[in-house]
A and B are shown apart, each in its own frame.
Chain A
């Protein structure tokens, strides 16, 4: 089966650092994505990890441990505009009879940044 878990909600203070965790249990794993989604808008791509380790991109960093089925998204110097849902998604390349490339999403973590 496939299971992706992330906290439902988090609250943090403007200027601080927040870490959003994601654990997964899937077969056919081929990479983990983080997306940001503001209310009523499309998800936007933040980061992609396929190998173990940390990927840094400005104020955002993402970490992956494949052996532990674990990832986190780190947001530094939080701004009010960072208030959004953060979606963890695993790429599934299992062969169903043909090639596939679907993303399996967690339910998302709603982050509220307070002044």
Chain B
């Protein structure tokens, strides 16, 4: 497809389980971002990847959160030992270069029971 693809679109899991969220950016886009959107809240920055540079992890809320980007393309966001407050929509975005508009995927709606 032409847009940013995220999977799964919905994920329901029990508290304490680990989850992995996947993002396929637009082909040729060098920059990749993860955000999360909680009910009634604005989008919250989590992490930013640019090419082979060290990522900006300053938005990750705790050490239970980690992300990687393999081969400069696909990215995986991992949340370990999930908590109920992790429930949110996790959005991935990409841009061709860092100074260009970010294009968002449809997100993964994560619900922690």
Binding site for B on A (CB under 8 A): 4, 33, 35, 41-45, 48, 87, 89, 96, 98-108
Determine if A101 and B50 form an interchain contact, defined as CB atoms under 8 angstroms apart. Answer: yes
The interface residues of chain B lying within 8 Å CB-to-CB of A108 are 42
A100 touches B58 (CB 8 A): yes
Q: How far is the CB of B11 from chain A (nearest CB, A)?
A: 16
Q: In the complex, which residues of chain B have a beta carbon less than 8 angstroms from the beta carbon of A87?
A: 42-43
A-B contact pairs, 30 of them (CB 8 A): A4-B42, A33-B101, A35-B104, A42-B4, A42-B91, A42-B107, A43-B43, A43-B91, A43-B104, A44-B104, A48-B101, A87-B42, A87-B43, A96-B56, A96-B58, A98-B54, A99-B98, A100-B48, A100-B56, A101-B31, A101-B48, A101-B50, A101-B56, A102-B33, A102-B58, A103-B35, A105-B44, A107-B40, A107-B41, A107-B42
Contacts of B62 in A (CB 8 A): none
Chain A, Cβ-Cβ closest to B31: A101
Listed residue (B48, B54, B59, B107) with the most chain A CB atoms within 10 angstroms of its CB: B48
Q: How many A-B residue pairs have CB under 8 A?
A: 62
Task: Check A42–B105 contact: CB distance below 8 A.
Answer: yes
Give the distance to chain A from B84, nearest Cβ to Cβ, in Å: 21
Query: Is B99 interfacial (CB 8 A cutoff)?
Result: yes
Give the size range of B's interface with the partner: 20 to 34
Q: Which 10 A-B pairs have the closest CB atoms?
A: A100-B56, A42-B104, A105-B42, A105-B43, A101-B98, A107-B42, A102-B45, A45-B101, A42-B106, A43-B104
Distance of A100 Cα from B47 Cα, bound (Å): 9
Cβ-defined contact, A99 with B107, below 8 A = no
Given A4-B42, A107-B40, 12 more pairs with CB closer than 8 A: A33-B101, A42-B106, A43-B91, A48-B101, A96-B58, A98-B53, A99-B50, A99-B53, A102-B45, A103-B35, A105-B35, A106-B42
In the bound complex, what is the Cα–Cα distance between A48 and B100 (angstroms)? 9
Which residue of B has the minimal Cβ distance to A48?
A: B101
- Which residues of chain B in 19-46 are interfacial with respect to chain A, using CB atoms and an 8 Å cutoff? 31, 33, 35, 40-45
